[in-house]
Amino acid sequence: MSASSNRLFSLQDIIGFAILAAVIFILLPLALDTFRLNLFGKYLTYAFVAVGLVLCWGAGGILSLGQGVFFGLGGYCMAMFLKLEASTPENTAIQSTPGIPDFMDWNQLTALPWWWEPFNNLAFALFAVVAVPVIFAFIIGVAMFRRRVGGVYFAIITQAFAAILTILIIGQQGFTGGVNGITDLRTLNGWDIRTDEAKELLYFVNGILLFACLFIAQFVRKSKLGRLLIAMRDQEDRVRFSGYDVASFKIFIFCLGAAFAGIGGAMFTLQVGFMSPTLVGIVPSIEMVIFCAVGGRLSIIGAVYGALLVNWAKTSLSETFPELWLLGLGGLFIAVVMLFPNGLAGVYAEHVAPRIARLFSKTSTTEAKQSKQSPAE
């Protein structure tokens, strides 16, 4: 293995990160109004999940069709804090039981459930945004990977978890808001998140957190753990026979993907102002895999572009062709997968990156020739 491949950032990586940063922090804010910028902020929250899927699926060969579960758990943890903050006795004076969320009052609850109490504290809510999805992923990971459940069986089981959690949330309407979800979220620690200024600031916070996750993912990919994940994906038995605890590595990377998804879910709640069971189930979980596949399941930067492109296409097609947008979106996915099996990242690696490399090579060669021809001073 060459020394350059062990570096945290190669030249291509630096170019890729710089272009993505320019798109997120300069191009989009300058080109879009607040409404559209908030929409792209929502798309970026899905990119957290897609980056986690690159680590799990692309590097580790663990295809999870239930990432919506972790996205939803992170989002619900944040929504619970925001809902309690909006449910002061003054704001809920018309209820039969003031001081509790409105959906609890509608379902004839007369006291706040004990497990809602800790979410009165912002620090606990921020901790729970990451901890709850990770704990849930750890339980699933230990139960599945210790028993060597993998491949299509693991994908189906994670899909089943997504369906179960959706049914549970909808069924427990008095505790979760049911099919409506948790709505009417107003402030974060007294700061109104509904204003244009707040939405613009949250967009940039979202972008910074996404880059933090990208750097963590890049570190994992370039570390020994990343190389082991690829080895496990290609030859799991050989890695196991070499003495490595394959299950522990899988559990770790699955939990890391869940942590990314939880952060994305929390940012979704802050930017959109609600959390719903429709974002937890099977369909959104499959859509998240599509984001990763379109962007390129081997590229963390490609996954971000995949999330942006697919969601932008989804919004544009639904606005222009409200009855045909699902067919258009399906066609886009099929075309990309058939024509570009490695997604957008594969197109960049095969057609754009070589041209950039040749351009830098020509420039350095020309500069070297000019320095040789120039008289010594």
**φ, ψ (nearest 5 deg) of residue 188:** -120, 105
Rounded CA-CA distance 136/149 in Å is 17
Which tokens go with 299? 């590229």
- Please state, for a pLDDT cut of 90, what percent of the chain lies above it: 62
Which tokens go with 239? 């890695």
Give the 3-state secondary structure of residue 183. coil
Q: At 377, is the pLDDT very low, low, confident or very high (cuts 50, 70, 90)? A: very low
Selected residue with higher pLDDT from 264 and 320: 264
CB neighbours of 229 closer than 8 A, spacing ≥ 6?
55, 59, 60, 61, 249, 253
CB 166 within 8 A of CB 280: yes
Q: At 296, is the pLDDT very low, low, confident or very high (cuts 50, 70, 90)? A: confident
CB 118 within 8 A of CB 124: yes
pLDDT of 18 higher than 70: yes
Rounded CA-CA distance 54/364 in Å is 34
Rounded CA-CA distance 231/242 in Å is 11
Mean pLDDT of 299-315: 91
Residue 188 burial (CB count, 10 A): 18
Which tokens go with 92? 């809920």
pLDDT computed for residue 372 by the predictor: 62
- Cα-based distances in Å from 279 to 166, 179, 261, 268: 9, 11, 12, 10
Amino acid making up residue 106: W
Give the 3-state secondary structure of residue 111. coil
Rounded CA-CA distance 112/180 in Å is 19
Vertex 334 angle, CA 22 and 158, to 5°: 85
Mean pLDDT of 293-321: 88
Amino acid making up residue 58: G
pLDDT computed for residue 37 by the predictor: 94
- Which helix or strand (DSSP H or E) is residue 252 part of? helix 246-272
CB 50 within 8 A of CB 307: yes
Mean pLDDT of 314-338: 76
Mean pLDDT of 156-170: 93
pLDDT of 369 higher than 80: no
pLDDT of 61 higher than 50: yes
Mean pLDDT of 196-201: 94
pLDDT computed for residue 221 by the predictor: 92
pLDDT of 322 higher than 90: no
Which tokens go with 253? 């990377």
pLDDT computed for residue 344 by the predictor: 83
Selected residue with higher pLDDT from 326 and 180: 180
Q: At 373, is the pLDDT very low, low, confident or very high (cuts 50, 70, 90)? A: low
Selected residue with higher pLDDT from 357 and 3: 357
The mean-pLDDT minimum among 5-9, 321-325, 365-369 falls in 365-369
CB 268 within 8 A of CB 284: no
Task: Count Cβ neighbours within 10 Å for each residue of 65-84 and write b for 16 or more, e otherwise.
Answer: bbbbbbbbbbbbbbbbbbbb
Rounded CA-CA distance 298/311 in Å is 20
Instruction: Burial-class residue 14 by CB neighbours within 10 Å (0-12, 13-18, 19+).
Output: exposed
pLDDT of 365 higher than 70: no
Residue 204 burial (CB count, 10 A): 14
Rounded CA-CA distance 259/280 in Å is 15
- Cα-based distances in Å from 56 to 79, 128, 226, 255, 314: 27, 22, 10, 9, 25
Give the 3-state secondary structure of residue 274. coil
pLDDT per residue as tens digits for the range 83-124? 999 999 998 889 888 999 999 999 989 899 999 999 999 999
Q: At 376, is the pLDDT very low, low, confident or very high (cuts 50, 70, 90)? A: very low
Give the 3-state secondary structure of residue 157. helix
Mean pLDDT of the chain, nearest integer: 89
